[in-house]
Structure 1
Amino acid sequence: MVGLLSGIMSDSSDSDSGSMPELVDTIDGSVEEPETFMKGFLAVTPDDADSSGIENLCKQLFKHFEVDVKELAELLVRQNYVTTVLKEEVDEPAADPDDDGTVYGVYSAVNLKNNKDNPFVKQVVNWMLTHAGQSVEGNVLKQLLDFEGNHPNTTGLLIKEKVVNIPGVATCPFMKQLINDLETATENGMQYNFTHFVHVAKMVKIKHEPEYFVDQDDEIIHKNHTRFFDVNYPSSVDSGIIFQNQSGSSIYGKAFRRIYVFTKAQLTDFMNELQNIEGMNNLMAEAASSGLKI
């Protein structure tokens, strides 16, 4: 599972009204100029050397929540037949054989029932159920995560994390790769034929403004899937976040997480819309010509 996706670029001037590519920093109060990416990337199967890079990416998703992202990273490496990491293409190998390059993105899905005894899975399931409440969405999630219950559903935790200044459009070929990998694993007798998915999205609230999606592609999930509930940061944590609007002014907001629950068919809807956004056809063709399975 190796391929090249070159020329991915983040351009804050093309921001849609519900997305936030101008995000500057996450919950530490500092402001930095956002860097624009113009690199070639490799989509590769992860190995043990990528574990710390995956862990760092997953920290931005679960920061300040009591889940063991190191366990998650190690789990994703163990199930590398359904995990893809995004790395920068380099002309010469790193001098340190243990340094295999920075991980810029990770795409995978975890079978929550099959891994119910894994420390991370125990923690993240408890975290979700604690905040599910008595809403319709929460009750649906509780049923899906009742691993002792007599129901035919199989739920996967969707992992699609990337550095903030890689645009959401870049998600498409790697999500398509993930879906292909899940189908291949299922054909080989492994338990990846999910009926439902759970996804944790990074969000920001701004006073008197619409909510913002840190990852642009999550806005498409929102449009296609109505079942969700929100999780705020613990009261002991300063969830403040500073980013720049299109005029260059710094804006203060509050970070939170949104948990989406959707079906396998709705994931297909998400992929169809993602592929139809402007510029995707050229990006997909470029990825295919460089060897990425899409």
Structure 2
Amino acid sequence: MSASKQKKLNDMEVDPNGNESSSSDDDDDDEPHPEAYRGNEEVEIDFEGRAPVDPDAQGISQLLQRLFLRAHINCNQMADLIIAQNYVGSVICQCDDDEPVSETDDDNMVEDGTVFGITSVLNLTAKKDQPSIAQLRTYLLDRAKTHASESVQQQLKELLDNEQRHVGFLINERFINIPAQISVPLLQNLQQEIDAAKAKKMKFDFGSLFLLVKFYRKEAKKGKPAEDNYTNAEDELLSDRAKISFEYSVASETDSGMSGDWLEGDAVMTPYRKLLVLEAKQLPQLINDIQSFINGE
């Protein structure tokens, strides 16, 4: 991979006490934080997006494990699938402008740095015989059977069984401190890479995209309605745009010795997952909508 493959992102101002910091108390998002995040000051950090390579496997797997928790899904094998298709998708890394980048040796671009995020897509139709993908398909259908309406269950099954219109599993995971602004260039780059792969007749021509998102629910109390707080801010907009969705609590699946719930003031915050089904052809417009949403437009 040449240096031109690097996708340098905008400078990000990271506030450890910002609106996402409340999620750091739960164990399913108990992730390492950059040293620059210490204290109460706002710190500017340069990030870059680049193609995933072999040394990223553990970091990618750990991000996936925070999404799936105790589900029987082989996150190590899924990380290997993501790396094997490194012409599509990006990992988020911290820039190191002091060290030269080799134009010829991919491994020189990666030492033992932390993977701060992963944005990619896996084909749930074409790769259905891969162990981790088969496990993921079963997991989603089982969760739907328990938590979704019969209509949603039937629609999901029909989408996954349709060999003509493939389903992509969109992965958009990152450390909780990293602001939503970073999602725009990552998703734009992903769309461009999907288009390039489609032009080469590769299996990235999706009819639908599945996205599993994380949020916390402040339970209704004293006449006040429940309030949802999304770990990735852009997921709130995507939830509104989904053509199909269902949600479920994962409080019993966290690694905490407690119930998985935690308190914000006197309100109970319960961790949830929500499966979104999005129209793949709408992804470019959704990216534009995310940009507007982030800008408060």
TM exceeds 0.5?
A: yes
User: How many angstroms apart in 1 are the aligned matches of 2:136 and 2:189?
Assistant: 25
Q: Does 1:232 align with 2:244?
A: no
Partner deviation per Cα, 1:42-70 (whole Å, 9 max, x = no partner)? 11111101111111111111112221111
Partner deviation per Cα, 1:211-262 (whole Å, 9 max, x = no partner)? 2211101001012124101133385755525476xxxx58542112111112
Q: Kindly report which structure 2 residues correspond to 1:1-294, keeping only aligned pairs within 5 A, or say none.
A: 1-11=5-15, 15=19, 20-27=20-27, 38-92=44-98, 99-133=111-145, 134-146=149-161, 149=162, 152-208=164-220, 209-233=226-250, 235=252, 240-242=260-262, 249=265, 252-279=268-295
- Partner AA of 2:72 in structure 1: E
Number of residue pairs aligned between Structure 1 and Structure 2: 268
Unaligned runs of 5+ in 2: 101-106, 221-225
User: How many angstroms apart in 2 are the aligned matches of 1:233 and 1:107?
Assistant: 23
Unaligned runs of 5+ in 1: 282-294
User: How many angstroms apart in 2 are the aligned matches of 1:131 and 1:251?
Assistant: 27
- Partner AA of 1:274 in structure 2: I
Contact 2:244 2:276 in 1 (8 A): yes
User: How many angstroms apart in 1 are the aligned matches of 2:150 and 2:44?
Assistant: 43
Contact 1:21 1:216 in 2 (8 A): no
Q: Which has the higher contact order (CA 8 A, sep 6+)?
A: 1
Q: Secondary structure at the match of 2:22?
A: coil
TM-score by length of 1: 0.81
Q: Secondary structure at the match of 1:70?
A: helix
In the TM superposition, what is the alpha-carbon distance from 1:101 to its structure 2 partner?
0.9
- Partner AA of 2:87 in structure 1: Y
| Aligned-CA RMSD value | 3.0
In the TM superposition, what is the alpha-carbon distance from 1:278 to its structure 2 partner?
4.9
In the TM superposition, what is the alpha-carbon distance from 1:12 to its structure 2 partner?
7.4
